Amino acid sequence: MSDRYCVFGNPVHHSRSPAIHRAFAAQCAQDVSYTAILAPIGGFTEAVGEFVASGGRGANVTLPFKEEAFALASRLSERARIAGAVNTLDFAGPGILGDNTDGAGLVQDLTGNLGLSIAGRRVLLLGAGGAARGVLGPLLEAGPRLLVVANRTVARAQALARRFAGVARVHACGFDDLAGESFDLVINATSASLTGDVPPLPKGLFAAGALAYDMVYGDTETPFLGLARRQGVERLADGLGMLVEQAAESFLVWRGVRPQTTPVIAMLRVARPPAGQR
């Protein structure tokens, strides 16, 4: 029987992760099956328990369960411990290993696929949820000159910045406080695009030549990328590349091999997935 993996989320029906991992398995000649499982709100731990009892080897975790997955793990990778959020569970060893591949996936997409140098740049991260927690550490490791986290609930941005106080100076604020500032890279790690919303951002936020990056992806332009384009930004990227890169990192954790991502990103672009999350 194939080794079983899945992604837990709510909602999860739009997930592209099964298609990605099936493509990875075929490419790497690994006998793996991968499905999407809708876990009830308040029922994440039970859903994981059932999957493990039925022979599941590992899982991805998407919103809104990344912080619950962190609490559930009995062992944590260093990057998951720093993030306080888990997107990858491995059931193969003793207990449950929690890892976080979101940050490595984002940085690989920005630097490898999009050719951006983060070192010395002014970076703005919008959002302070599970995705923002996962990417902050790897973004800081890439050496930006300035890293600001802005969130609708300012206290959450402040709490996130405090987590990294020993690593580097992270500035935390609300959206209004951004007036008069400009950035070379603006990453939307809020889920606002999923509901057709865009954070209320002041004009002039994008420096000349800036890259606007939305972690959300879809077959049409996301509201955040539309706003950036109307403000004159020419370098726009959605989160499909990050999705595939973080999946490749999870595959590496589970199977010990990192698949080629370029053909899988190209396959998904052609398949034109529906707007949504992984």
- Residues annotated as part of the active site: 66
**Length of the chain as a residue count:** 278
Paired residues of 38 in beta bridges: 9
At residue 59, the 3 state secondary structure works out as strand
By CB under 6 A, residue 129 contacts ligand NAP: yes
Q: Which long-range contacts (CB under 8 A, 24 or more apart) does 162-169 make?
A: 163/82, 163/84, 163/133, 163/136, 164/82, 164/136, 164/137, 164/140, 167/82, 167/137, 167/140, 168/140
Q: At its nearest, how many Å lie between ligand NAP and the CB of residue 198? A: 7
Residue 240: Cβ within 10 Å count: 23
CA–CA dist 101, 200 (Å, integer): 29
Q: 180: number of CA atoms within 13 Å, CB side?
A: 1
Least CB distance from residue 142 to ligand NAP, whole Å?
17
For the CB of residue 174, give the shortest distance to ligand NAP in the complex, in Å. 9
Interface positions, 73-112, toward ligand NAP (CB under 6 A): 102, 105
In the complex, minimum distance from the CB of residue 218 to ligand NAP, in angstroms, rounded to a whole number: 10
| Residue whose CB is less far from ligand NAP, 57 or 278 | 278
CB nearer to ligand NAP: give 28 or 194. 194
x/- map, 159-198, ligand NAP, by CB under 6 A:
------------------------------xxxx-x--x-
**Is 193 within 8 Å of 222 (Cβ atoms)?**
yes
Question: What is the C-alpha separation between 64 and 191, in angstroms, rounded?
Answer: 10
- Stretches 53-61, 218-226, 242-250, 264-272: which one binds ligand NAP (CB under 6 A)? 242-250
- Between 7 and 96, name the residue whose CB sits nearer to ligand NAP: 7
Selected from 80, 131, 185, 265, the binder of ligand NAP by CB under 6 A is 131
Residues 247-276 that bind ligand NAP (CB under 6 A): none
> Residue 63 in contact with residue 85, Cβ under 8 Å?
no
Asked if 277 interacts with ligand NAP (CB under 6 A), we say yes
The smaller minimum CB distance to ligand NAP, of residues 92 and 155, is found at 155
Of the CA atoms within 13 Å of residue 214, those in its CB half-sphere come to 26
Binding site for ligand NAP (CB under 6 A): 63-64, 66, 102, 105, 127-132, 151-153, 156, 189-192, 194, 197, 199, 215-216, 239, 242-243, 246, 277-278
